[in-house]
Homo-oligomer: A and B are copies of this chain.
Amino acid sequence: MSTLCRALLKNKNRCQVLFYRPILTIQTSDIPSKLQSHRKFSNNSVRNSTNLTFSNDAFKRRDEFSSTICVLACGIGGAIAFYLYKDKETVLALKAIENAELPQYHKSVRKDLPTYSMAEVGTHASSEKGIWVTYGIGVYDITKFVPQHPGSDKIMIGAGSSIDPFWHIYQQHNTPEILNLLETFRIGNLKAEDDFGTKDLSDPWSNEPKRHPLLKPASLKPFNAEPPPTLLVEHFITPNDFFYVRNHLPVPEIDADSYELEIGVEDTDKVKTMTLKDIQSLPKHHVTAAIMCGGNRRSEMTNVKPVKGLSWGPAAVGNAQWSGARLCDILKEMGIESDEKRHVHFEGFDMDPTSTHYAASIPLSKAMDERGDVILAYEMNGEPLPRDHGFPVRVICPGIVGARNVKWLGRITISNVESDSHWQQNDYKGFSPSTDWDTVDFSKSPAIQNMPVTSAICNPESNTSVSINKNGCINVKGYAWSGGGNKIVRVDLTADGGKSWHVAKLIHDTDANGDQSNLNGRNWAWALWTAEIPVPKGTKHVEVWSKAVDSNYNVQPESFENTWNLRGVLSNAYSRIKVNIE
Interface residues of A (CB under 8 A from B): 340-341, 343, 363, 365-366, 369, 371, 417-418, 430, 432-435, 443-453, 483-484, 486-487, 489-490, 492, 498, 500-503, 512, 515-522, 547, 549, 551-559, 561-563, 570
Contacts and interface: CB of A to CB of B under 8 A. Distances in A.
7 contacts: A430-B490, A434-B502, A449-B519, A452-B552, A452-B554, A484-B521, A558-B559
Nearest to A522: B340
A159 B483 CA distance: 46
A445 B556 CA distance: 18
Given A363-B519, A432-B492, A501-B432, A446 B558 contact: no
A553 B430 contact: yes
Contact of A340 (B363, B449, B520, B562): B520
Given A434-B502, A451-B552, A484-B484, 17 more contacts: A340-B522, A341-B515, A363-B519, A363-B520, A432-B503, A446-B519, A449-B552, A450-B552, A450-B553, A452-B553, A452-B555, A453-B554, A498-B562, A553-B570, A554-B554, A558-B558, A558-B559
B449 A551 contact: yes
A366 B452 CA distance: 21
Contacts of A549: 430
Contacts of A443: 516
Contacts of A446: 487, 489, 516-517, 519, 551
A556 B522 CA distance: 23
A529 to B, nearest CB: 13
B512 A341 contact: yes
Contacts of A559: 558
Contact of A489 (B445, B519, B561): B445
A552 B484 contact: yes
Contacts of A503: 432, 435
Interface of A is mostly: loop
B371 A448 contact: no
A430 B519 CA distance: 15
B340 A518 contact: yes
Contacts of A557: 555-558
Nearest to A569: B553
B516 A445 contact: yes
Contacts of A365: 371, 520-521
B434 A517 contact: no
Contacts of A417: 517
Contacts of A444: 516
Contacts of A518: 340-341, 363
B553 A448 contact: yes
Contacts of A435: 503
Contacts of A418: 517
A445 B498 CA distance: 20
A341 B522 CA distance: 11
Contacts of A366: 521
A455 to B, nearest CB: 13
Contacts of A512: 341
A433 B547 CA distance: 12
B520 A552 contact: no
A82 B476 CA distance: 60
Contacts of A562: 498, 501, 547, 558
Contacts of A484: 484, 486, 521, 552
A557 B558 CA distance: 6
A416 to B, nearest CB: 10
A498 B517 CA distance: 38
A497 B151 CA distance: 32
B430 A343 contact: no
A542 to B, nearest CB: 17
Nearest to A443: B516
A49 B568 CA distance: 60
A562 B492 CA distance: 10
A92 to B, nearest CB: 37
Most-contacted residue by chain B among A366, A512, A515, A516 (CB, 10 A) = A516
Nearest to A559: B558
